[in-house]
């Protein structure tokens, strides 16, 4: 009964947090559409500003809803995982090529890419790596460095995603994997810093758990962060 109660409480908190997160973009969209209907028809500048803002808020909302749906499917054990033998050096190569195209504000490097096979779902593993890399880009000022490396160890492939960004305070390091948790330092929505949802790392954690992978963090405020994934090899 206790366990059921805990699950029920977590479910309620999830629904309440999700509603709360959706409220802001909806309020902004409503505000801009009211503005447009009052003044947008006459003034082209107001019109453009309103349309841009609505489109950007809708995009954030879409992203948030995709993440909520992923977690809902995961909770209901409906998230599809198709495991096969995957050569990680190939997958990392693919992910890195895309990173090079998207990371226009940062220096990126693939430091090491050892061969190694894991038994995994390609789609979600890529999704997990993208979450770490997108965070590295989000929380690292322009000009900073983002590196990826994959190192073969006995029984494991150690995959590291490192940045030279704002870092994570020790008190936050455990909590960042909780749903909706965001460190105070990253809450201020500056120009350089797009606001997040606090859901990325909980999705990454779920994907890692499905593959018996461990995640650890090394970080110092103002110096950067390194996320380390220990992936069990199936060709060890
Ligand atoms: P989001 O990035 O959408 O806020 P995440 O769950 O991906 O949500 O991350 C949770 C929090 O962890 C972020 O809000 C940020 O405070 C912190 N964080 C994650 N990755 C990094 C990083 N590479 N550098 C600094 N802080 C990070």
169-178 pLDDT per residue, tens? 999 999 999 9
Distance 116 CA to ligand 1 centre (A): 28
Tell whether the model's pLDDT for residue 166 goes beyond 60. Answer: yes
CA distance 25 to 36: 16
Q: Which two tokens stand for residue 32?
A: 């801009």
Mean pLDDT of 31-44: 90
Residue among 137, 141, 186 whose CB has most ligand 1 atoms within 8 A, to mutate: 186
Tell whether the model's pLDDT for residue 223 goes beyond 70. Answer: yes
Tell whether the model's pLDDT for residue 186 goes beyond 80. Answer: no
Tell whether the model's pLDDT for residue 189 goes beyond 60. Answer: no
pLDDT score at 140: 96
Mean pLDDT of 15-30: 92
Q: Which atom of ligand 1 is nearest to the CA of 165?
A: 24
Mean pLDDT of 4-22: 89
Model confidence pLDDT, tens digit, residues 54-99: 999 999 999 999 999 999 999 999 999 999 999 999 999 999 999 9
Residue among 17, 139, 148 whose CB has most ligand 1 atoms within 8 A, to mutate: 139
Tell whether the model's pLDDT for residue 120 goes beyond 50. Answer: yes
Q: Is 136 in the pocket of ligand 1 (CB under 6 A)?
A: yes
Q: Is 224 in the pocket of ligand 1 (CB under 6 A)?
A: no
pLDDT score at 192: 47
More confident residue, 52 or 236: 52
Mean pLDDT of 137-159: 97
The mean pLDDT of the chain is 93
pLDDT band per the 50, 70, 90 thresholds, residue 191? very low
Distance 131 CA to ligand 1 centre (A): 9
Instruction: Give the β-pairing of 107-113 and 156-163.
Output: unpaired
């Amino acid at each position: 009964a206790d366990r059921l109660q805990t699950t029920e409480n977590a479910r309620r908190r999830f629904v309440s947090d999700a509603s709360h997160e959706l409220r802001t973009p909806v309020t902004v969209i409503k505000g801009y559409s009211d503005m447009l209907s009052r003044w947008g028809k006459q003034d082209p500048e107001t019109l453009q500003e309103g349309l841009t803002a609505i489109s950007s808020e809708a995009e954030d909302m879409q992203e948030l809803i995709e993440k909520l749906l992923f977690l809902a499917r995961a909770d209901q054990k409906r998230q599809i995982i198709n495991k096969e033998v995957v050569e990680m050096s190939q997958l990392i190569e693919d992910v890195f090529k895309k990173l090079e195209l998207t990371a226009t504000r940062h220096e990126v490097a693939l430091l090491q890419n050892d061969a190694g096979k894991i038994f995994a779902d390609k789609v979600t593993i890529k999704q997990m790596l993208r979450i770490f890399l997108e965070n590295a880009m989000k929380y690292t000022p322009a000009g900073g460095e983002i590196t990826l490396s994959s190192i073969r160890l006995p029984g494991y492939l150690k995959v590291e995603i490192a940045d030279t960004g704002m870092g994570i305070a020790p008190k936050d390091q455990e909590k960042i994997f909780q749903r909706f948790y965001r460190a105070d330092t990253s809450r201020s929505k500056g120009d350089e810093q797009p606001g997040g949802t606090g859901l990325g790392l909980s999705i990454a954690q779920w994907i890692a758990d499905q593959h018996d992978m461990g995640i650890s963090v090394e970080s110092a405020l103002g110096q950067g962060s390194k996320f380390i994934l220990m992936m069990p090899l199936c060709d060890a």
